[in-house]
Homo-oligomer: A and B are copies of this chain.
Amino acid sequence: MAVYTDIDDEELRAFVAEYDIGTVTGLKGIAEGVENTNYLLRTDRGSYILTIYEKRVDPNDLPFFLGLLDHLANRGVPCPPTLHGRDGKALRQVAGKPAAIVTFLQGIWPKRPRAVHCGEVGAALARMHIAGLDFPHTRHNSLSLDGWSQLVEATASRADEVAPGLGAEIAREYEDISGHWPIDLPTGVIHADLFPDNVFFMDDELTGLIDFYFACTDALAYDLAICLNAWCFERGAEFNITKARRLLSAYRDVRPVSEAELDALPLLARGSALRFLLTRLYDWLNQVDGAMVKPKDPLEYLHKMRFHRRIGGPGAYGLD
């Protein structure tokens, strides 16, 4: 929710001149996305998103992310293809930082997702997983077990400032989840952050998936578990089984899910809840003075983690 990097007029002109997109008629910083600076760039030919990659993104990962967008868009997944400059490159520099331009996607993200949105997301996620199967590059999920272990350690001494007993509960949960984490499920490219603000709709039809900057190679069912957490809880943290059923069955209509994947789902969902609990907790405990981003409530994910821990099996998600 911030613009971290300003672009000088001359610099903008020179940067845009590297592309075949006409002349600039507008540039507005977008108050969305917490990791990077995003501008809505308008030219006399169309609208684009100009992203400047800030320090939380490893520049070495950018060819993976940008290549993935092109790969998926070429296969019909509704995600924004990158613009390539006159030299053929999608990744260049502006204001001394890596930057890229992608096509502007129509649609708005749902502030209060309904079951119909969950169905659309399930189907799109499955299509993305299939389209990604022949993507030739891989990227380690730095926010899986090893990343969690570091975050458990980094937050342990102060977790109880947020809720009494939280540190111990996280430690127990991490032990339990990491001891049983499935390692033989089908893997591929996952989005890993497919929250409602990363999915656009028009008239309840999905028009775009954005923000692939956590994408990595991991168990496909783990992505499904992330979506269960992101889409199927109400604001009061109650699980909405109707939404989960819609999301899962729409996914399975496109990509069949194995018994092993289904059985693993509650554990994957606990792990996914732990992942967001940990990153939010870390950000909460390490707020920067004058930061322009409001940290998200870590406890939302504590409640979700407890829910998945307590259910008897994947049937609780409305599966037939």
A residues contacting B by CB (< 8 A) are 1-3, 6-10, 12, 23-32, 40, 42, 47, 104, 106-108, 110-112, 202-203, 287, 290, 292-294
Contact = CB atoms under 8 A, between A and B. Distances in A.
Contacts of A26: 104, 106-108
Contacts of A30: 28-31
- Kindly report how many copies of this chain are found in the complex they form together: 2
Contact of A31 (B7, B31, B111, B112): B31
Given A1-B2, A1-B31, A29-B30, A9 B292 contact: no
A202 B13 CA distance: 11
A10 B290 CA distance: 34
18 contacts: A2-B31, A3-B31, A6-B111, A8-B111, A9-B112, A24-B202, A25-B106, A25-B107, A26-B104, A26-B107, A26-B108, A28-B28, A28-B31, A29-B31, A29-B32, A40-B40, A42-B47, A292-B292
A28 B24 contact: no
Nearest to A8: B111
A12 B108 contact: yes
Given A3-B31, A7-B111, 11 more contacts: A2-B31, A8-B112, A9-B108, A10-B112, A28-B40, A29-B30, A29-B31, A29-B32, A30-B30, A31-B31, A287-B290
B293 A9 contact: no
Contacts of A32: 3, 28-29
A2 B107 contact: no
Given A2-B31, A3-B1, A30-B29, A108 B40 contact: no
A32 B9 CA distance: 17
Closest 6 CB pairs of A and B: A29-B31, A31-B31, A3-B31, A25-B106, A27-B108, A8-B111
Contacts of A290: 287, 294
> Most B CB atoms within 10 A — which of A3, A31, A106, A292?
A31
